[in-house]
Amino acid sequence: MAIEVRSLAWHGKGLHLIDQTALPREIVRLDVTDVDTLIDAIRRLAVRGAPALGASGAFGVAIAMLQAEREGWSEDTLRDAVSRIRDARPTAVNLAGGVDRVLPLVPQGVAAVVAEAEAVVREDVAANKAIGANGADWILAHVERRPLRVLTHCNTGSLATAGWGTALGIIRELHERGVLEVVYADETRPLLQGSRLTAWELDQEGIPHFVQPDGAAASTILRGLVDVAVIGADRIAANGDTANKIGSVGVALACADAGIPFVVAAPQTTFDPATPHGDAIEIEERPESEVLEWGGVRVAPEGSRAFNPAFDVTPARLISAIVSERGVTEPRT
Ligand code: MRU
């Protein structure tokens, strides 16, 4: 029996989050009622994935307003708290977008902000369902083989969104249409969003899958074992260049060489017309310990340093299709 996954839910005084760092071992629910706890949850990836960050940002403004009332904050303190939420992670444009969307409603009070944040959630689920249908239609029109073997990277499912998923929404749709053979889920080093979260969601749905090391992806593609790669996005620049989890551009290069489609799936909230091209996207660099340690134990020599960019940019020329709720564009053609 599949567990209904809701990455986040407003409970009247704050936000319930599934702590994604504890999955798949256990389902831990966090109760977030203050700004520092929310920022900590965002930074340590208890809540993560661009659309889920967008909704968290929107509800985060309500959390800040309630805390301001409780603790008698000045307007400056509230403004500073809101901008700390907005800046908690830099790459996914959805986080700032979620905050900015509800800000004009602050003078109307907490209820109005929460209502708008709930609209962010509803719209994201609806967008994901449309992305699933649009993406499945495009793939079935452009890939001949049946049943399909799909590769994905990172986690783009219910956990990463307000519900259903983007790239994983397309995979679910292909499964529902009975045309999916298997998913190759890249494990997604160093924080294992693929092996911990995507595999967990696929397992819940009974979707056949292999977890593979990130280093296997190019070889699996070049050996002809994959028909299409589908990934999500954290920010899509005006020219189609796309930031997503580190390792995505390697998958795109392998797909281009193998002549199979590389598909990006994202809601309109991930499109950033203010960013002209990929070079202008800020790439988050994460703590060195995530690479140098394993389960809290140092595995690299004490003298080693780590380079730990959380995202990369895939140039538009390597992307076959960008799927949103509005339809599909084809940058590579
Ligand atoms: O560091 P994360 O886990 O927040 O990175 C998430 C991704 O890169 C996802 O692919 C992206 O946010 C799209 S989620 C629908």
Distance CA 8, CA 182 (A): 29
Which helix (H) or strand (E) segment is 290 a member of?
Answer: helix 289-292
The pair of three-digit structure tokens given for residue 264, joined into one six-digit string:
């990006």
Backbone CA torsion sign across 37, 169, 324, 250: positive
Which helix (H) or strand (E) segment is 58 a member of?
Answer: helix 50-71
List per-residue pLDDT tens for the chain, 333 residues long: 455 679 999 999 999 999 999 999 999 999 999 999 999 999 999 999 999 999 999 999 999 999 999 999 999 999 999 999 999 999 999 999 999 999 999 999 999 999 999 999 999 999 999 999 999 999 999 999 999 999 999 999 999 999 999 999 999 999 999 999 999 999 999 999 999 999 999 999 999 999 999 999 999 999 999 999 999 999 999 999 999 999 999 999 999 999 999 999 999 999 999 999 999 999 999 999 999 999 999 999 999 999 999 999 999 999 999 999 999 999 976
The pLDDT assigned to 1 comes to 46
- Catalytic residue numbers, as ranges: 234
How far does the centroid of ligand 1 lie from the alpha carbon of residue 53, in Å? 9
Distance CA 295, CA 92 (A): 26
Residues in the chain: 333
SS3 191: coil
Tell me: is residue 245 an annotated ligand-binding position. Answer: yes
SS3 238: coil
CB 235 within 8 A of CB 281: yes
The pLDDT assigned to 5 comes to 78
Distance CA 65, CA 187 (A): 38
The C-alpha angle 298, 302, 303, rounded to 5 degrees, equals 145
Residue from 245, 263, 264, 269 to probe ligand 1 pocket by mutation (most atoms less than 8 Å from CB) = 245
ipTM of the complex: 0.99
Closest CA to 251 of 167, 170, 178: 167
SS3 18: strand
How far does the centroid of ligand 1 lie from the alpha carbon of residue 35, in Å? 22
The pLDDT assigned to 321 comes to 98
pTM greater than 0.90: yes
